[in-house]
Amino acid sequence: MERTKISELENRISEKVKIAGWINARRDHGKLIFLDLRDSSGKIQMVSLPQKTETHKIADTLRDEWVVEINGIVNKRPEKMINPEEVLGKIELEISEIKVLNEAETPPFEISGDTSNISEETRLKYRYLDLRTDRMQKNMKTRSQFIQNCREYLFNKKFIEIETPILTESTPEGSRDFVVPSRIHPGKFYALPQSPQQYKQLLMVAGFEQYFQIARAVRDEDLRADRGFEHTQIDIEVSFVSQDNFLNLIEGMMTEVVEKMGYKIKEKPFPRISYKEAMEKYGADKFDLRTDKEKEEGILAYAWVVDFPFFEKTADGQWTFSHNPFSMPKPENVPDLLAGKNIENIMTQQYDLVCNGFESGGGSIRAHQPEILKAVYKVMGFNDKETEERIGHLLEAFTYGAPPHGGIALGVERNIMNLTGELNLREVQAFPMTRGGQTAVMKAPKELTKEQLKELKIKIEN
Ligand code: ASP
């Protein structure tokens, strides 16, 4: 007999079925044994009757989290046993045969409960068990659904999905790089991508016009509740697009994606607020437009923040970019940028998508002419040679007919946190790191063997 998924049992009343999964709970009621079985689709109550002597004996040995295959008959529950709180609360499975596929140790915490109060160390050490819990299963499914809906929207709009390298050169995204030593070029290092920024711009030069990627981004930043070393972004870039049309496209995507998932949006079209107005009104460029009642109802309040200043001063008085060095100034500010004057008043075609008090995405229309990009680097204090070293490849590419283009990156974790109400990034990643930067389940970072170090020509200083 073929295995049936538990969620399908509703349509199989009075039939013989085979199901398989994990023992989720066990209740002994006198001679009857009640066992809940869980698979990835749901949970079902099963009953073992004492008259089936042999099977009943096996049922008596079963413990939580054992993996079993069960043959039985789907019955309607007696009226007084119906549980409206269970999805399949009107039916149960009468066990006729049990096959134990694997036994299980007693888990270090309860799988049938909510693990938010269990210590992070224990949860991440046994992440594969933590992920079995209802809340974590739901979070991961929400994440998968969100990504699938984004993909569908973008494919419908004729986007193409392209992967960019993981071993790459460091990009000036403003964070510290994670680096990877090269064996065949001793003393030289790759960097893991902080974002696919330059590659996606090169793809525009390459004529793809509408690119996206579900991209991993790695940044060596201080770990916080809403920040890990690794995150995923829906990375998008489009050619021949105005800021207005681009924001409409992304707004269309977010609206379709979250409404399909049953969420409500507070205001459509999303309000557009200038950076200046946001700072005056909310004292920050991220803000929460929801009322307390809307917070309780899980409503999503999106807004665009636009018109950012291009540059800001560093601690030592040097100009640096406020968001993204590859952005295009507002057209009226291009002459000032090229002349290197009036820097504090240069505005950029940069935009952030804010949702429920957090930045859920950010991007810009880019500088596609080499002179403009060079002028940005000049303002930031780089001479021609230094600029060439950093972004010479991009400047060169732009001399071969780079189309005007712009894009965005939407943080997957941040968006899923908004959808699920989770406050910690680790709740929406399958295998996040601990706050101490230790990988879940596995033991990185760890030392290399002497042989590995020798091959890489690396000496460790104590
Ligand atoms: N590269 C930017 C980031 O990762 C997003 C963008 O401008 O597309 O934040």
Q: 219-233, 245-259, 379-393: which has the minimum mean pLDDT?
A: 219-233
CATH of 132-428, one of 3.30.930.10, 3.40.50.10490, 3.40.50.300, 3.40.50.2000: 3.30.930.10
CATH superfamily, domain at 6-102: Nucleic acid-binding proteins (2.40.50.140)
144: left (phi > 0), else alpha (psi -120 to 50), else beta?
Answer: alpha
Ligand 1 centroid distance, CA of 324 (Å): 7
DSSP 429: S
Mutating to test ligand 1, I would choose from 164, 168, 194, 197 the residue with most ligand atoms within 8 A of its C-beta, which is 197
Give the residue whose CA is nearest to atom 7 of ligand 1: 363
Cα(455)–Cα(437) distance, rounded to whole angstroms? 26
Cα–ligand 1 centroid distance for 165 (angstroms): 16
| Tokens, residue 235 | 């990375």
Confidence of residue 226 (pLDDT cuts 50, 70, 90): confident
User: Ligand 1 centre and the CA of 197: distance in Å?
Assistant: 6
Tell the residue nearest (CA) to atom 6 of ligand 1. 363
d(CA 279, CA 77): 60
| Weakest-pLDDT range from 115-119, 161-165, 169-173 | 169-173
Query: In the predicted model, what is the mean pLDDT of residues 290-304?
Result: 97
Q: Give the pLDDT mean for 91-95.
A: 98
Residue range 317-332: average pLDDT? 95
Enter the pTM of the model: 0.95
Distance 326 CA to ligand 1 centre (A): 10
Range(s) for CATH 3.30.930.10 in the chain?
132-428
pLDDT of residue 173: 57
pLDDT given for residue 182 in this prediction: 96
Residues at CB less than 6 angstroms from ligand 1: 195, 197, 324, 362-364, 407-409
pLDDT tens for each residue of 389-398: 999 999 999 9
pLDDT, tens digit (0-9, with 9 covering 90-100), for 164-173: 999 999 766 5
Range(s) of the chain covered by CATH 2.40.50.140: 6-102
* CB proximity list for 105: less than 8 A, separation 6 or greater: 65
The average pLDDT across 48-58 equals 95
**Percent of the chain, pLDDT > 90?**
94
Whole-Å CA distances, 148 to 144, 156, 161: 6, 12, 13
Task: Report pLDDT for 223.
Answer: 86
279 pLDDT above the threshold of 80: yes
Q: What is the pLDDT of residues 18-41, one digit of tens each?
A: 999 999 999 998 899 999 999 999
